[in-house]
Amino acid sequence: MRVTFFDTKSYDREFFSAAATTHGLELRFLEHRLDDSTTATAHDAEAVCCFVNDRLDRTVLTQLRAAKVRHVALRCAGFNNIDLAAAKELGLTVTRVPAYSPHAVAEHTVALLQTLNRKIHRAHNRVREHNFSLAGLVGFDLHGKTAGIIGTGRIGRITAEILRGFGMQVLAYDPFPSVEWAAAKGVAYVTLERLQAEGDVVSLHLPLTRETHHLVNEASLARMKPGVFLVNTSRGKLVDTTALIAALKSRHVGGVALDVYEEEEGVFFEDHSGRGLDDDELARLLTFPNVLITSHQAFLTREALAEIARVTSANLGHLAHRRPFLDGTQLA
Ligand code: NAI
């Protein structure tokens, strides 16, 4: 079966080429993203394999269906970039990889938090310039502070457990709380308002939906503790960037660590060093000494890539042989 991959990098080619061998798949790797101007490049594939910034709206799905594509394999957990109702109507099946390595994302979340807090990125640059001064590098102990975890699914729970290991008090908010887990791990479920008011660190681990869009906005930022550290490794559009910049300018927010950004599509994963940034808000964020940004790399561990390739290739193999998809992976 022929599969066209969009938005691929060297690591996708490496891990998928290894995983696909046992499933008799014919893989075509494209570097550009999927949108309504690139659907034709799926050519005669029966399935397309897409990532977080490929656009899978009704127009694109209709074009794919007309080109005889019958399956969309998302090689990620989030699925906010696909119109599932349109996929169902068009008779396209859709799968994702729901849990490739929640540890990868949780560990990156804590790595970002501690890099920002202890100013490791700035210290590293200084020492490389033979500047061994400590001025401006003061951080705070996590021990004894309060973390607020919004969303206690796979990633949020692991992040909470790591932060408990630092000796933090952990408050959590989730409309579907994991009550037994919280009791076992010493985590307290509270209202969103209380979490925002008491968290020294607030970390987002919930999906992007119509309801959660701009969950962090002017009003919710105002409710947060002065000096709060905000960490977002989930989805960029959970945070209103304009409001965040205002809260940084007023010094209300003490630090911001982001692995995702509201308008990351077309910027993240690419090298813009030679041409500069068109996005003024991203450029402004990068001017703050207390903002740390990585380019949607929380998932990027060997274990996660191998698991993404294993699950996606198995599902594509099952599709070819008309067998059911792996449990919990089918969205449409
Ligand atoms: P999950 O589905 O296991 O957990 C999400 C949790 O959020 C659930 O417990 C759900 O009840 C909760 N939730 C839903 N609406 C909420 C709301 N309004 N307020 C609070 N909680 C709410 O998802 P998982 O695997 O933990 O992933 C979390 C997010 O991390 C994903 O949605 C995805 O966007 C992001 N992610 C980012 C990656 C990266 O590389 N930066 C990689 C993988 C996932």
CA dist 220 and 222 (Å) reads 5
- Compute the distance from residue 132 Cα to the ligand 1 centre, in Å: 40
Would you please indicate which residues are annotated as catalytic (active-site) residues? 235, 264, 296
- Where are the strands (E) in the chain, listed by range? 2-5, 26-29, 47-50, 71-74, 93-95, 146-150, 169-173, 187-189, 201-204, 228-232, 253-258, 291-293
- Compute the distance from residue 206 Cα to the ligand 1 centre, in Å: 3
Q: Judge contact between 220 and 203, C-beta under 8 A.
A: no
Identical fold for domains 2-100+301-321 and 102-293, yes or no, is yes
Look at residue 27 and give its three-state secondary structure. Answer: strand
User: Which of 106, 90, 24, 98 minimizes the C-alpha distance to 58?
Assistant: 90
The pLDDT score that the predictor gives to residue 22 is 85
List all residues whose CB is within 6 A of at least one atom of ligand 1.
77-78, 99, 102, 105, 150-156, 173-176, 205-207, 211-212, 233-235, 259-260, 296, 298-299
Q: Judge contact between 243 and 216, C-beta under 8 A.
A: yes
Take atom 18 of ligand 1 and give the residue whose Cα is closest: 212
pLDDT 10s digit of each residue in the chain, 332 long?
A: 999 999 999 999 999 999 988 898 999 999 999 999 999 999 889 999 999 999 999 999 999 999 999 999 999 998 999 999 999 999 999 999 999 999 999 999 999 999 999 999 999 999 999 999 999 999 999 999 999 999 999 999 999 999 999 999 999 999 999 999 999 999 999 999 999 999 999 999 999 999 999 999 999 999 999 999 999 999 999 999 999 999 999 999 999 999 999 999 889 998 999 999 999 999 999 999 999 999 999 999 999 999 999 999 999 999 999 999 999 999 99
**Domain at 2-100+301-321, CATH homologous superfamily:** NAD(P)-binding Rossmann-like Domain (3.40.50.720)
- Where are the strands (E) in 35-79, listed by range? 47-50, 71-74
The pLDDT score that the predictor gives to residue 284 is 98
The pLDDT score that the predictor gives to residue 43 is 86
Q: Domain locations in the chain?
A: 2-100+301-321, 102-293
CATH class, range 102-293: alpha beta
- Compute the distance from residue 70 Cα to the ligand 1 centre, in Å: 28
- Compute the distance from residue 275 Cα to the ligand 1 centre, in Å: 34
Ligand 1 atom at shortest distance from the alpha carbon of 215: 18
Residue 278: Cβ-neighbour burial (10 angstroms; 0-12, 13-18, 19+): exposed
Ligand 1 atom at shortest distance from the alpha carbon of 206: 7
Q: Judge contact between 150 and 173, C-beta under 8 A.
A: yes
The pLDDT score that the predictor gives to residue 162 is 98
CA dist 116 and 110 (Å) reads 10
Length of the chain: 332
Tokens 């001017």 belong to: 287
